[in-house]
Amino acid sequence: MKIPVRFIASRSAFYLFTAFAAITINFFLPRMMAGDPVTAYMQRNAGQITPEAERSLRILFGLDQDSSVWEQYSDYWQLLFSGDLGRSFSNGLAPVGDVISSALPWTLGLVGIATIVSFVLGTATGALIGWRRGSKADVIVPISTFFSTVPYFWLGLIAIAVFSSTLGWFPASHAYDKGSSPEFTADFIGQVIAHGALPAITIVIASLGGWILGMRNMMLTVLDEDYITVAQAKGMPNRRVLWNYAARNAMLPQLSSFALSIGFIVGGTIVMEMVFSYPGIGKLLLDATTAKDYPLMQGVFLIITMAVLCANILADVAYAILDPRTRQTEA
């Protein structure tokens, strides 16, 4: 297979630009703030901060009055490249990087699995509804739309009220039972699954509607195309027409909206983690905002943006594999 240099180059340029924009937004965010968080923090913890740590905090916050904004900006980049995201106020000055890396696997596991399940399930359902157009299956569309317009957190709260508090089927919060610590045993993995099931199911139900609707609408458009008629006229089995001809082409816009809606899904799951007290990135961000822990807020936002960009790159790769046209733009 020929390597689509031009496609890769233009997409890389876009991702580099987005990463640059996100980091720049991140740099300017604390500079719009009123007040001086470092001084306030120093007063609360007098004598516990070394001068180097204080200088590092001041660079991160832009309170380094001696230097110009431009110098601060380059200092910020240098700190980032050395892997220094600052220190978290609310976690006893632990490095932000460490705090985040302890929370990240939980979110990646929960949100990643739930999102992929929802995408696959929703796309397949949408393809079938589109294929059986005008049948009773159309009812699924308004029902799933209702669930996708319901706020995530409300759905989560109701799920807890019904399935945890009343029926007692699932544990209501946290990622594993109190008193146990992460280890690779069957018992612990069982706990993780039991605790993750309810949040995951809620995310799937809440996000399914968008995929179903998008895929159904694309299927209705694609099924009207001449190549579908030709395929059927050739006597090709319907199953093959449905999945290999119609669904495969209708998938393409789904993939690009998958890439673009990841940011939105991540936003919804932040609140989900709050509702389920799930120890992931979203809960970290909310705790950081309550504690006015600016370095942690900045770090979490940066990590979320980078995660969304990575997911976008994956969606791009999938798109390029499915759609030969993107690979052939060289000609």
- Which residues make up the interface to another protein (CB under 8 A)? 14, 17-18, 21-22, 25, 29, 32-34, 131-135, 138, 142, 145-146, 149-154, 157-158, 160-162, 165-166, 217, 220-221, 223-224, 229, 232-233, 235, 238, 259-260, 262-264, 266-268, 270-271, 274, 285-286, 289, 292, 297-298, 300-301, 304-305, 308-309, 312
CA distance 116 to 204: 9
Q: Which is nearer to another protein, 17 or 169 (CB)?
A: 17
Question: DSSP string spanning 265-280?
Answer: HHHHHHHHHHHTT--S
Q: Which is nearer to another protein, 16 or 321 (CB)?
A: 16
CB of 251 to another protein, least distance (A): 18
Tell me the HSE value of 166 on the side-chain side, using a 13 A CA sphere: 7
CA distance 227 to 127: 17
CB of 116 to another protein, least distance (A): 18
Q: Which is nearer to another protein, 2 or 234 (CB)?
A: 234
Q: Which is nearer to another protein, 247 or 259 (CB)?
A: 259
The separation between CA 240 and the C-alpha centre of its own chain, rounded to angstroms, equals: 33
CB of 324 to another protein, least distance (A): 21
CA distance 254 to 256: 6
In DSSP terms, 87 is beta-bridged to 95
The separation between CA 88 and the C-alpha centre of its own chain, rounded to angstroms, equals: 23
CB of 181 to another protein, least distance (A): 29
Give phi and psi for 226, each to the nearest 5.
-65, -35
CB of 102 to another protein, least distance (A): 19
In DSSP terms, 95 is beta-bridged to 87
CA distance 62 to 30: 7
CB of 8 to another protein, least distance (A): 17
- Structural tokens at position 155: 């759905």
CA distance 10 to 172: 46
Q: Which is nearer to another protein, 120 or 143 (CB)?
A: 143
The separation between CA 117 and the C-alpha centre of its own chain, rounded to angstroms, equals: 14
CB of 224 to another protein, least distance (A): 5
Q: Name the helix (H) or strand (E) containing 185.
A: none
Q: Which is nearer to another protein, 175 or 223 (CB)?
A: 223
Q: Which is nearer to another protein, 99 or 309 (CB)?
A: 309
- In this structure, the chain runs to a length of 331
Residue type, 96: V
